[in-house]
Structure 1
Amino acid sequence: MSALRVGWSVAILAIGAVQLARGWAGIVAVAVFLAAIVITYGLVFTGRKLGFGAGYTVLIVLSLAVAGAYFAAGSVVSPTDPTEKLSVLDTLTGTVPRLLSMARPAPATAMLLIPGVLLVIVVSLVAAMSLRGRALLAPAGGAAVLYTAAALLTAGQADRTGLVAVVLVALTGLGWLIIDRPRTGRRYLVLPAMLLVVLAGLTTIATILPAANAFDPRRLVKPPVTELSVASPLPKLTSWAAASGAELFRVRGPEVPLRLVTLSDYNGASWRAASLYGPIGAVAPPDLPDGGQTSSSDIEITVEKLTGSWMPTAGRPSATNAEAAVVDPDSGSMVLPAGLAEGMRYRLTSTLDTPDDESLRAATVPSGPAARRYLSLPGLPSALAEYARRTVANSRTPFERAIAIEEVVRADRRPSADAPAGSSYTRLESFLFGTGSVGANAGTAEQFASAFAVLARAAGLPSRVVVGFRPVQAGPDGTAVVRGSDATAWPEVYFDKWGWVAFDPMAGDAAGPSSAARRDVLNRLAAMPPAPPPSAVPGAVPSPRQPTAAAPVAPKNERSYLLLLGLVPVVMVLVLGMMRAGRRSRLRRAGATGAWVYVLDALLLAGRSPARHVTAPDVARGLAEPDAVRLAELADRAAFAPGPPLGGADAWRLAVKVRSGVRREVPWYRKLFWALDPRPLWRR
């Protein structure tokens, strides 16, 4: 076995492993996968030097791989119970589903790296075991397996231009040509022909497969969902305001509003957070799609005095190094089931909707069943319904309705840290209409945001409430200190194609649309209606009509993609099988010479191909089959005697017996590709 063969096989496997590592964040996966290739090759060659059989070597390598997974699983805990460690069986059987339900790229943690490491070890083991003979199909096939796994794991993003595929094909072709082929001038013509065929096949597949909405196997995996009952932090705004100087956490990154929790469900008495959470990057899409114009934000959070399970985020989290964090896919609220601890630090990448004012002016709001959750107002009092109707009476578009509600909630009402907490209908009526002696026309950010959201829903605008923190200016070291006084709440309205847009009825201009957009809308609108007292409100006004249910959209059929991917190897196997069958038929018709070539093909597949200068009888005497000598003599007479081919059926019967004897002596891994190995097709 030459160093060139070993180096070539390791090189093409390394290319496939580096591609596979694109499915994980950072360079840890690259180092681990390359180390797995080197260690596997080292174990195989050490086993051969010590005289171990192939079966023992395979058993040792696989046992060590499972043992490594065991120790990796020993440090993995349950996402719902930090005191409970996952079993080895649960870790191994659930590695792929867990990986496919993580963010893309996935965090390079021990549990998530297990499926990639095991795949690299198995592929490297097969490739290293096959290098004892002359077959080079296993390393090339292993690199193709790693490359395909990378394409599936990244939904085709690992090699967008196809450059890596071309390099891999070229390196494979050079290896087949230089290492395993006789070095005659005419043989080098095989390489261009082979590359043209492969590139033509890749071009055909690239033309057939869709360029957009590429197949993603994550859609076939139902992500693990955790049911959590976490209290809403909305009532804590008052206590945070009382301890205004307390340092809750520090943030390094762009100056953007930070979210703590998004509250989407309202029952007439309070706002509630979602109860079902899954891994970040889970396939399940939100009930209302993201906006079409977004920006990305990378921040680093260091927890100080902030307690509870809610984790500050910026927008919709897409990746984090906090392994146990789970997220609500509809709102982006992120939870750490074990709770926050002082000194904890985590990094977070998020996506924010950034629509422009001109687009919002003509934007519409959804009317399908997905928006019903954000329009629900059970038991809405007629006073609030009538107040919402009069507020938006002169508005022409949903955006104008939102601006009008923002202005009317802000007008003639004052922020007060001492105002009573609560967001029930009774509390909001006192806040808006001035009824009662406590909290009349005064409130905290909770009342301002809740009043906006309730009136917006009554006016047909999908809305929700967000508890978070105002943007804080960073210090000289680039770190901003978020204190209790920075805690606040704001409402959001969903617009078709543009996502969730924040409004600020408390300040009027600190968040949401720009001041210019608000001024233009308010200049067009008529004067805001005065707040009617409850006694002046006419009889019960029905709640706004619920939007009619839109026809459900049929899910995309993924079977065609799977069928297409499955047909490619099937077609290749059929073509190779037909070509090998055609060669066998031609050799059988050629008499004794063809029968002897049939035996030489078997020796090639077994890695025992004789040198060209050795005569047929000498080759036959080196075989353990007694019929081989007789067949060689028939082949010699047929080759050098004039006339038609000699030997006929008797020679072919001998060839079949000799070939069967040769095949019995080859290792099992060579028998796997015995009928499909293309190398006999290249022999003249």
Structure 2
Amino acid sequence: MSGANPDQRRQRRARYRLRIAAVAACLTLMCLVAGTVAARVYHGRMLLLLVAGAAFAAFAIGFALRNKPSFLAPGASATGLAAYLLGAIALTSDGTDPLGATAVDALVNAVPRTLTALIPVEPMPDTVVVPVFLTWLAATLSCEFAIRYGRTLLGCLPPTLLYGAGLYLVGPNADAGPLYAIVYCVLAAVALAVTAAPPERRPDRDATVDGETPSRTPALMGAVVTTTVLVAAVAVLGPAAARLVTTSPGDPREYVEPPQLTDIDLNPLVRIAEWAKFPEQELFKADTSDDAWMRLAVLTEYDGTTWQSTGDFRTAGTVVPGAGEATYSADVEIIELGGKLVPAPADPAGVTDLPIAVNLYTKCLLTPDGLATGTSFHVDSALVGNDPAGAESARPDLSDATTVAITPGTPEIMVQIAEYITATYETPYERAQGLADFLSQHYSFDAEAPSGHDLPALGFFLGSPVTAGGQRGTSEHFASAYAVIARLVGLPSRVVVGFDVPSGASTVTAAQGQAWPEIAFDGPGWVRFDPMPAAGVAPIPPEDTLEQMEEETPSPEEAEGGGGEAEDFNDEALEQDGDFNEEAGSEDAGIPRWVWYALAALLLACVPLALKARRALRRRRRLRKGTPAERIAGAWAEVLAEAGRAGVKVPAHANAEEAAVRLGALEADVGALPRLVNAAAFAPGAVSKADADAATALVAPFSRTIRHQVNWVRRFLT
């Protein structure tokens, strides 16, 4: 190397290597920060560690091969990516399936399952593949652009795109992260400030470097200035820009089809009839920490034909978002339950050993692959129990319109029962419990009753005589009828399908499967009610109770105190000379009619006064407000307005002299007003206060002179 001794060349080479190492470190950390943006919606630190490992491993491969032939780096990077992805899949897999099958399933379903996963996303093989792959790809491209080809600015592009992809994946599901943006901008500024030399000037490739060692001062100053500007822009302008944003970012999960239900899961109430006919059928084994009702489905929407669940199911990990502290646990092994809906207690907090999706509205669980014999899982729950004591004095929770919607075409028998409940009980809780007591006392259980919960079927169940097959049914009929009538009473209701599971180890049979209604109260939440009849108790015919209510209910005349001897208003003997209805109406009227006529006349009389007051205020403003030139112009406007009232119209294009000629027809003197108007118009600063006083003094005599020439209607009104 000419112009430099060996010591200088070694120092220059060392400085260059330090500089290129700093650029590599900055870009690697930029890829790490970009990957961490997406990790904010993941549960735990597993994804953060996987993303960090991908960024460092990919950059290390590219950095090690920076001086080798360019075709070696892509092959080595792809091999490293495959090995790293396989390791990440093995690390996050539960081990129930072979690693090869798990890897294929994760790669095929990575994108849709990542987008449909609930927040926080559980790090599983199919939810870590996408962020790990994108981080590795960004780090590889960044290293190639910045280190091999010396284009640091272009090398900042891949991690920036990764940063944007992370923001898109997070969507509106995490708080703003300005610290990430600040750190990212600082790293980019440092990388650009200590940017690497182009390939032809690389000391570590024995390239010739001519000239003296360049000064480091511009680079340092550039780093300081750039970093300061970027940090200030993010810290100061960021919050201001955020306040200008009025909409939330789009959520990509809205565009991905959620897991779908099977036919038996769309309407799980139809399974009640089958379970009632085969009560000995074993459905699943359960080992629970306490007695509980394990739910299979929560149904809130009713269209008169079927009960359905509100909301979609979203893929979740082992942690169910929004749950409280777990106080209940159960180990479940499926025997012959079938379907995709997973039995679990209310408010599940976590599920292990089974991939699940969660309906955040109802907190019901679903497994995308369906339940099969031998499927086992563990579920923890912040068990929500009934709180009748708290509901006794609570008001119904009417915040959700879905749970209070009344379907048109409700059978008459339901309306009669609702009227009976309303007339018999007062508080919401008493009506809810009274409705359950009414159904349990007046109807009977029949395991052979045909399935059906549409309005005609419920009308047949409630209103048809026993001899025709009515007034008996399964829990499907009791729960559905209760929920519909409760809405007629004004109580928000829903239907739940589930199982009564005792504490300890047991086998749950079809006899334990049941549907029950729940009522929402403000405070206690959803409270379960039992409308099922007690075993061995003969039901009371519902028509006896309802007919007795009709007999005891007073007629409108009796309720008003008239009784049976109330006067007959159709009796001719009561008719008088005048119109009876008019007299009654005049007695009941709050304000006599003549008062309205008087008010209308008073308003009409005030119109001339209002016009005169308006005209006086306008004249006062014109003659007394403003500069002398403005007051002269106001005086001239008043003169022209008075002339117009007298019938002399002055065109808008006429000058002061032409207008004065037309005003001569009124035989009223305007004095020097035209001259003052011209002076004020062409030389406003030349007129004085005395000129303005002289001009305004001419208005009143002019008005008095022409007053007799004004039409009397105008003179009266204005």
Please state which band the TM-score falls in when normalised by the shorter chain: 0.5 to 0.7
Distance (whole Å) between structure 2 residues aligned to residue 360 and residue 146 of structure 1: 55
- Contact kept, 8 Å, 1:107 with 1:321, in 2: the verdict is no
**Hey, what does 1:635 align to over in structure 2?**
none
State the AA in 2 paired with 1:44.
G
Greater shift, 344-353 or 5-14, is seen at 344-353
**Hey, what does 2:516 align to over in structure 1?**
490
**Hey, what does 1:235 align to over in structure 2?**
273
Tell me, yes or no, if structure 1 residue 41 matches structure 2 residue 59.
yes
Deviation string for 1:269-292 (max 9, x for gaps)?
Answer: x8555699654379xxxxxxxxxx
Aligned pair partner of 2:284 in 231, 248, 252: 248
**Hey, what does 1:195 align to over in structure 2?**
228
**Hey, what does 2:241 align to over in structure 1?**
208
Tell me, yes or no, if structure 1 residue 108 matches structure 2 residue 123.
yes
- Contact kept, 8 Å, 1:423 with 1:450, in 2: the verdict is no
State the AA in 1 paired with 2:499.
F
How much does 1:504 deviate?
1.4
How much does 1:124 deviate?
0.5
**Hey, what does 2:39 align to over in structure 1?**
21
Distance (whole Å) between structure 2 residues aligned to residue 173 and residue 279 of structure 1: 40
The 5-angstrom pairing of residues 580-595 of structure 1 reads none
Distance (whole Å) between structure 1 residues aligned to residue 291 and residue 368 of structure 2: 27
Distance (whole Å) between structure 2 residues aligned to residue 332 and residue 343 of structure 1: 24
- Contact kept, 8 Å, 1:419 with 1:442, in 2: the verdict is no
Distance (whole Å) between structure 2 residues aligned to residue 417 and residue 387 of structure 1: 21
Distance (whole Å) between structure 1 residues aligned to residue 380 and residue 155 of structure 2: 38
**Hey, what does 1:375 align to over in structure 2?**
406
Q: Matched residue of 2:494: which SS?
A: strand
Distance (whole Å) between structure 2 residues aligned to residue 106 and residue 417 of structure 1: 46
Greater shift, 307-316 or 185-194, is seen at 185-194
- Contact kept, 8 Å, 1:296 with 1:349, in 2: the verdict is no
The 5-angstrom pairing of residues 288-307 of structure 1 reads 295=324, 301-307=331-337
Q: Matched residue of 2:498: which SS?
A: strand
- Contact kept, 8 Å, 1:98 with 1:223, in 2: the verdict is no
Distance (whole Å) between structure 2 residues aligned to residue 178 and residue 480 of structure 1: 69
Aligned pair partner of 1:226 in 255, 260, 266: 260
State the AA in 2 paired with 1:152.
Y
Q: Which has the higher contact order (CA 8 A, sep 6+)?
A: 1
Deviation string for 1:285-334 (max 9, x for gaps)?
Answer: xxxxxxxx974658665324252113113447798667765566765544
State the AA in 1 paired with 2:543.
P
- Contact kept, 8 Å, 1:251 with 1:480, in 2: the verdict is yes
How much does 1:120 deviate?
1.0
Q: Which runs of 5 or more structure 1 residues have no equivalent in the other structure?
A: 74-84, 283-292, 509-528, 540-684
Q: Which runs of 5 or more structure 2 residues have no equivalent in the other structure?
A: 1-16, 90-100, 197-213, 534-539, 551-718
Label 1:363 to 1:455 Cα distance change in 2 as closer, same or farther (>3 A): closer
**Structure with the greater alpha carbon radius of gyration:** 2
Label 1:192 to 1:301 Cα distance change in 2 as closer, same or farther (>3 A): farther
Q: Matched residue of 2:30: which SS?
A: helix
- Contact kept, 8 Å, 1:421 with 1:446, in 2: the verdict is no
How much does 1:386 deviate?
0.7
- Contact kept, 8 Å, 1:303 with 1:341, in 2: the verdict is no
- Contact kept, 8 Å, 1:384 with 1:429, in 2: the verdict is yes
Distance (whole Å) between structure 1 residues aligned to residue 249 and residue 430 of structure 2: 40
**Hey, what does 1:80 align to over in structure 2?**
none
Distance (whole Å) between structure 1 residues aligned to residue 385 and residue 549 of structure 2: 41
Deviation string for 1:543-595 (max 9, x for gaps)?
Answer: xxxxxxxxxxxxxxxxxxxxxxxxxxxxxxxxxxxxxxxxxxxxxxxxxxxxx
Q: Matched residue of 2:118: which SS?
A: coil
Distance (whole Å) between structure 1 residues aligned to residue 358 and residue 448 of structure 2: 32
How much does 1:491 deviate?
0.7
Q: Matched residue of 1:230: which SS?
A: helix
Distance (whole Å) between structure 2 residues aligned to residue 435 and residue 238 of structure 1: 22
Aligned pair partner of 1:149 in 158, 165, 172: 165
- Contact kept, 8 Å, 1:365 with 1:398, in 2: the verdict is no
Tell me, yes or no, if structure 1 residue 455 matches structure 2 residue 455.
no
**Hey, what does 1:406 align to over in structure 2?**
436
Tell me, yes or no, if structure 1 residue 467 matches structure 2 residue 497.
yes
State the AA in 1 paired with 2:406.
L
**Hey, what does 1:607 align to over in structure 2?**
none
Tell me, yes or no, if structure 1 residue 30 matches structure 2 residue 48.
yes
Deviation string for 1:45-69 (max 9, x for gaps)?
Answer: 454454225xx74577469869999
Distance (whole Å) between structure 2 residues aligned to residue 100 and residue 465 of structure 1: 30
The 5-angstrom pairing of residues 524-563 of structure 1 reads 531-533=542-544, 536=547
Distance (whole Å) between structure 1 residues aligned to residue 134 and residue 307 of structure 2: 44
- Contact kept, 8 Å, 1:22 with 1:150, in 2: the verdict is no
How much does 1:123 deviate?
1.2
Distance (whole Å) between structure 1 residues aligned to residue 546 and residue 219 of structure 2: 101
Label 1:7 to 1:205 Cα distance change in 2 as closer, same or farther (>3 A): closer
How much does 1:367 deviate?
8.6
Distance (whole Å) between structure 1 residues aligned to residue 63 and residue 190 of structure 2: 24
State the AA in 2 paired with 1:206.
P
**Hey, what does 1:630 align to over in structure 2?**
none
State the AA in 2 paired with 1:217.
D
State the AA in 2 paired with 1:218.
P
How much does 1:464 deviate?
2.8
How many pairs does the alignment contain? 484
Tell me, yes or no, if structure 1 residue 505 matches structure 2 residue 530.
yes
How much does 1:389 deviate?
1.6
- Contact kept, 8 Å, 1:230 with 1:275, in 2: the verdict is no
- Contact kept, 8 Å, 2:186 with 2:230, in 1: the verdict is no
- Contact kept, 8 Å, 2:189 with 2:226, in 1: the verdict is no
How much does 1:452 deviate?
1.5
Distance (whole Å) between structure 2 residues aligned to residue 432 and residue 536 of structure 1: 15
How much does 1:116 deviate?
1.7
Tell me, yes or no, if structure 1 residue 365 matches structure 2 residue 406.
no
How much does 1:388 deviate?
1.7
Q: Matched residue of 2:466: which SS?
A: coil
Relative to the length of structure 2, the TM-score reads 0.53
Label 1:333 to 1:226 Cα distance change in 2 as closer, same or farther (>3 A): same
State the AA in 1 paired with 2:530.
P
Relative to the length of structure 1, the TM-score reads 0.55
Q: Matched residue of 2:272: which SS?
A: coil
Q: Matched residue of 1:106: which SS?
A: coil
How much does 1:42 deviate?
4.0
Tell me, yes or no, if structure 1 residue 280 matches structure 2 residue 312.
no
Q: Matched residue of 1:234: which SS?
A: helix
Counting helix residues as a fraction of each chain, which structure ranks higher? 2
Deviation string for 1:21-63 (max 9, x for gaps)?
Answer: 334445443344334324422442454454225xx74577469
Aligned pair partner of 1:119 in 127, 134, 138: 134
Label 1:355 to 1:238 Cα distance change in 2 as closer, same or farther (>3 A): closer
Distance (whole Å) between structure 2 residues aligned to residue 110 and residue 452 of structure 1: 45
Q: Matched residue of 1:303: which SS?
A: strand
**Hey, what does 1:594 align to over in structure 2?**
none
Distance (whole Å) between structure 2 residues aligned to residue 19 and residue 159 of structure 1: 11
Label 1:101 to 1:320 Cα distance change in 2 as closer, same or farther (>3 A): farther
Q: Matched residue of 2:40: which SS?
A: helix
- Contact kept, 8 Å, 1:449 with 1:490, in 2: the verdict is yes
Distance (whole Å) between structure 1 residues aligned to residue 188 and residue 385 of structure 2: 47
Distance (whole Å) between structure 1 residues aligned to residue 29 and residue 448 of structure 2: 70
State the AA in 2 paired with 1:238.
A
State the AA in 1 paired with 2:494.
R
State the AA in 2 paired with 1:311.
V
State the AA in 2 paired with 1:117.
V
- Contact kept, 8 Å, 1:364 with 1:398, in 2: the verdict is no
Distance (whole Å) between structure 1 residues aligned to residue 331 and residue 450 of structure 2: 29
State the AA in 2 paired with 1:226.
Q
**Hey, what does 1:99 align to over in structure 2?**
114
The 5-angstrom pairing of residues 304-453 of structure 1 reads 304-309=334-339, 310-315=341-346, 325=356, 331=362, 333-336=364-367, 338-346=369-377, 357=390, 361-363=394-396, 365=398, 370=402, 375-376=406-407, 378=409, 380-393=410-423, 401-411=431-441, 420=449, 422=451, 435-436=465-466, 445-453=475-483
